[in-house]
Structures are given as structure tokens and as C-alpha cells.
Amino acid sequence: MIWNQYIECMDREQLQQLQNRRFASMIERIYCNVPFYRKRMQSLGIEPGDITSIDQLKLFPFTTKQDLRDNYPFGLFAVPPSEVVRIHASSGTTGKPTVVGYTRKDINMWAEMVARALTGAGAGKNDIVQNAYGYGLFTGGLGLHYGAERIGATAIPMSGGNTQRQIQMMQDLGSTILSCTPSYALYIAETMEETGIDPSTIKLKAGIFGAEPWTENMRKEIEKKLHIKAIDIYGLSEIMGPGVAVECLEQKGLHICEDHFIPEIIDPNTLEPLPYGSVGELVITCITKEALPLLRYRTRDLTRLTLDKCACGRTLVRMDKVLGRSDDMLIIRGVNVFPSQIESVLLEIAETKPHYLLIVDRVNNLDVLEIWIEVDDHFFSDEVKQLENFQKRIQERIESVLSISATIKLVEPKTIERSDGKSKRVIDKRKF
Amino acid sequence: MTIKQLSVFLENTSGRLAEVTRILADAKINISAFSLADTADYGILRLIVDDPVRAEKMLHEQGCTVHTTDVVGIYVPHKPGGLYKALVVLAENGISIEYMYAFASREKAMVILRTENIAHTIEALQKSGIEILNPSDAYNA
């Protein structure tokens, strides 16, 4: 099923004309309203009137997460505060999150894109969407919620966690669509197995899973265990949230909502644009967003674009499942984690930068984070209670900065392997 | 009268304690007393040795995390009530013990104590006639 036949199956040439018009007007808006972009364009000698086609995209420099940090919190907003109706945020380094904003129209368009995702997964107004994405500053919860309401389905705002109750609601209310992270879907499936609940007694038919990388194998496992179709959804809060690209029942890539976002693939080292079919870093330009329209935003996600028309009938370009990252960001339980965030917590509490190692693993389908810290003379105490207190303070600080819990393990000096004098910072044992 | 005690951080892996004692053995350093505090993941080895300065250097060079901590040693009679007599002095003076360990020989027992204020502890014990262990006696016990 297709939610917006007109756009999703639009002739490519017609689509580009639409993109050109929207791109030109976006450039004009950011030139007038965002000093950051105006300065950049002035230094390059670009006037809004010069821009008529998305082929001119490569004239512009990239926008990075650092630019968002440097302009924290509202510096890149293109509308006055009175027009902003919603804020979301993701955790940031040194305690400062990345703040994103939405106008009423942005929220509306976001709901439209999630509506496409849900419809693409086979959902309609008779469905009951059990939304187990976290509600709050994270975009997953409210993003899926508005999309479910948009298609006229019944939304159950479960939020994450409390697995027994999730299962009970599925049974009692007859939920037909589940939305959450793929690892949580597997966790729910296994909890059902353990408690002896036969998946054929629940009515789920499809799941919309995203916010973290997952493999085709995970997909097969979820589908087998829950007897559903597992559908991928892609997004990032800087651009919008879930719904930037959505999979159809063909499960052969995620259709990017090109009427709102222009995708490019670049070589993360040379920063040169790459042709369709090459693997590289995804760069996105917003052409309709009002509150925070980012120009050539580097997502740091590695993928590949395919232009061929999909068997589902959609003409929108498809991106592969995200293959990895071009930076050191980890996604742990759907939360974006940079090793530098953990480093700054350690620096704050140990007053020195100890050697550390992050070990990420998946135990019973839930991500777990263990942090090894080499005990050095600076914070070594010969009293157990002092060391335990040190561990506890780090754990609490990490939980408050990143909203994930970590196990802190103190290890002897030189335990953590060094390569080329630099210590290895992350071991990710999860198999994507 | 303070005694220099070495504290070494040890992971709970088999052979670690043996390794530390090997480093000391190779350096011909004699251990006169020790205790091991343990948690689920790690332990803290506390040592009184005959040459604390050199021992600390040797352990450091071998990559151990080691600290020198001031402690006080006392002698108590090796008979019922011997330890009680000393501890009651600390209690009466409001001194709390962080940790302690003891070794008994034929007539006397040697007790090593760590408190928040070592100088105050020594003073209180001396006033009450408790025999304070001379550092050189502790190192060469």
C-alpha cells in the first residue's frame, strides 16, 4: 500500500523540478534567516537568486554536528521562537545535547512521512500500533505516534521497557503493528518464548524497527519469532527523526522522502560526491523544513543509493540498510554514544584522563556497556569504599549524561591493549 | 612512629598475587605482614616490608598501581582481652578504624591499624600506655 501515490511514485523528472523549486526557496530562507548560512554564502559569493537547481548543491560546504554544537541551542534555527512548537534533543558531549526544533508545519510533514512508513508496512486505519519507542526528547516515540494517528490507526503510547506489560497489551488489545528498536523487538520475542506465549496467539502482523543498526539476520530472526514482517525505518533527529527514509514490503532498501530531503553520497575522506551505487557517507539537505533546515548535513551513516524503480511502484531513491559509521559513534540501546562523551565524564571525575575501554555487547538481545578503567596512581585509594565510590560516581554521571547504564570495571595498568601508542577505545562484540 | 605501608591494586585474576610476590622476591624484599581486601572484581593488597621505598619503586617499575599509606602498629599481649584493651582506647577517643590486620607470635601480637588521623591515634594510644610498634621493628618483624 502507498500513502501518497502522487509523490511516492512521481516521475523522476517531475520530482526534480519540485526539488529545484523547493531547494531554491530553502536557500533564500536560510540566507535571510540564518546568519551562519548567510555568512558562508557571502564568503563564497553565492546570492540566493543564483540557485535554481539541486545540481548546484555541491557549491555549498557541509554542515556537521559540530556546527550544531557551536550554535547551541537555537543558532541554526530559521524561524523566530514563536513559530517553534516542539523541541527534541539527543545527548551531546560535555553535557550539551544537540537541540532540534519543529514548526507546526514541520510536525505535520513529519507525520506525513511516518504515515508513508506505516502504510508501506501494510498498516491502515484498522490497525493498532503499539509504540514501544521511548517518548520524550528522543524523536522515536512522538515521531511514530503522530504517524500512526495520521493514518487513522489506533496508537498505544507504550514507550520503552516493562516487557511483561508490553506483551500483556499485545494480547489484551490485539496490537497489529509494533514499533521499537529491532533489539527490543527481539527481546520481546524471547521473553514471550520464555514465558511460553505462542506468537500465533497475538495479532501482530508487522513491525517498524529503527534507531539502531541491524542486519538481515536479525530481521529473519524477528520475523520467525514474532510471525511478522519486520520493516526498517531510518532517520536522525538533526534532519527530522524517524521517517527520513522508509522501507516497503519488498524489503529492498529504504525509500528516501526526496520531496523533502535531497540525499547525496560522499567519500568521507575526500568529501567528493560519489555516483549512485557507491558506498559512502550519506549527506542530506532539507528542502522543506522550516525550523531547522540543514544544508548538506553529514549524517556519518554509511550506505549506498539505488535509483532503479522498486517493484512496489515507488520511484523514490532507495538507500541500503545503514552499513556502519564514518565516525566513532556507537548506538547503544538506540542512544547515540560517542567515546568522547565518556572520556569527558572520566576527565571530570578522575581529574585526569585514565586509559579506558568501552566494551559493547548484546546479552539477551539487550545492549550492555561495560567500561574498563585502568587504575592509576591519581585516583587509586587503598580503601575499598573510596574505589567503590569512584565507580559509583562515574556510573551515575554516565547515566545522567547519556541516559544509559554502564558497568564500571577497574583494571590494572597496561591491561588495555595499546596499538601504535594509542589505546584502543572500543570493542563492539555485537554482530550486526 | 608512623609505619609506611604499601597498597597495591590487584585484579581478581589467578596468578596476580603470585606475580607481585615474585617482584618482591626478585628484589630480595622481605614481607613482614600483609592483608588482602577483596571485592568481586579486584583486591587491594596491603604490605609491610623491610624496605618500603625500594619496594614501591620496584612495583612501580613493573607496572603496578601502588601507594604508600601511613599506618600505626601496636603490640598487644597475646592473651584474652589483649586487643580489647587497645580498641577501647580508640573507641573512647572517637577514632574510627578504616581497616586493620594482626599477627600473633608467642607472647605478643602485632596489630596494624589505619585510621583517619594517624598522629592523633598514636597520641591517644600512647597516653593510655599501649605499646606502639617502632617502624623499624615492623619492617623487620
Say whether A412 and B98 touch across the interface (CB within 8 A).
no
CATH number of domain containing B116: 3.30.2130.10
Q: Is B116 found in the same domain as B83?
A: yes
pLDDT at A260 over 60: yes
**Alpha carbon distance A400, A335 (integer Å):** 13
Cross-chain Cβ contact A384/B44 below 8 Å? yes
Long-range contact set of residues B92-95: C-beta below 8 Å, sequence gap at least 24: B93/B120, B93/B124, B95/B120, B95/B121, B95/B124
Tens-place pLDDT, residues A268-297: 999 999 999 999 999 999 999 999 999 999
Grid cell, residue A82, equals 514563536
**Residue of A372, A377, A382, A386 to mutate when probing chain B, most B C-beta within 10 A:** A382
pLDDT digits (tens, 9 = 90+) for B74-120: 999 999 999 999 999 999 999 999 999 998 888 889 999 999 899 99
Residues B38 and B76 in one domain: no
Number of domains chain B is built from: 2
Together in a domain, B87 and B130: yes
Q: What is the spatial distance between Cα A212 and Cα A235, in angstroms, rounded to a whole number?
A: 10
- Residue at a domain's end among B21, B36, B68: B68
Which one of B39, B68, B97 terminates a domain?
B68
Would the pLDDT of A418 be above 60?
Answer: yes
**In angstroms, what separates the C-alpha of A424 from chain B's closest C-alpha?**
19
Q: What is the mean pLDDT of residues A56-73?
A: 94
DSSP label at B80?
Answer: T
Instruction: State whether B134 and B92 are in the same domain.
Output: yes
Identify whether residues B56 and B75 lie together within a single domain.
no
Do B82 and B110 fall into the same domain? yes
Pair B74, B99 in one domain: yes
Residue A140: what pLDDT?
Answer: 95
**Closest-CA distance of chain B to residue A332, Å:** 24
pLDDT at A9 over 70: yes
Q: Over 80: is that where the pLDDT of A425 sits?
A: yes
Rounded Cα distance, A73 and B85, in Å: 65
- pLDDT grade for A323, boundaries at 50, 70 and 90: confident
The verdict on B49 and B78 lying in the same domain is no
Lowest mean pLDDT among A60-64, A196-200, A350-354: A350-354
User: What's the CA gap between B4 and B22, in Å, rounded?
Assistant: 21
Residue with the larger pLDDT of the pair A344 and A3: A3
Q: Could B39 and A388 be called an inter-chain contact, meaning their C-beta atoms sit closer than 8 Å?
A: yes
Q: Which residues of A354-390 are buried (b: 16+ CB within 10 A; e: fewer)?
A: bbbbbbbebeebbbbbebbbbbbeebbbbebeebeeb
Q: Are residues B44 and B79 in the same domain?
A: no
Measured between CB atoms, does A249 come within 8 Å of chain B? no
A67-78: average pLDDT:
95
Largest distance between two CA atoms of chain A:
72
CA atoms of A346 and B93, how far apart (whole Å): 39
Closest alpha carbon to A371 in A398, A333, A351? A398
Lowest mean pLDDT among A106-110, A152-156, A171-175, A216-220: A216-220
Q: What are phi and psi of B79, to 5 degrees?
A: -155, 165
Q: Please give the DSSP secondary-structure letter assigned to residue A205.
A: -
Q: What is the pTM of this model?
A: 0.76
- Based on the domain organization, do B94 and B60 belong to the same domain? no
B:66-85 residues touching chain A, CB 8 A cutoff: 66-67, 69
ipTM greater than cut 0.90: no
- Same domain assignment for residues B45 and B21: yes
Kindly state the average pLDDT of the residues A233-238: 96
A364 pLDDT tier (thresholds 50, 70, 90): confident
* Domain range enclosing B134: 70-139
Q: Which domains does chain A have, with CATH numbers?
A: 70-327 (3.40.50.12780), 335-428 (3.30.300.30)
What confidence score (pLDDT) does residue A95 get?
Answer: 53
d(CA A431, CA A16): 39
Question: Over the stretch A32-49, which tens digit does the pLDDT of each residue have?
Answer: 999 999 999 999 999 999
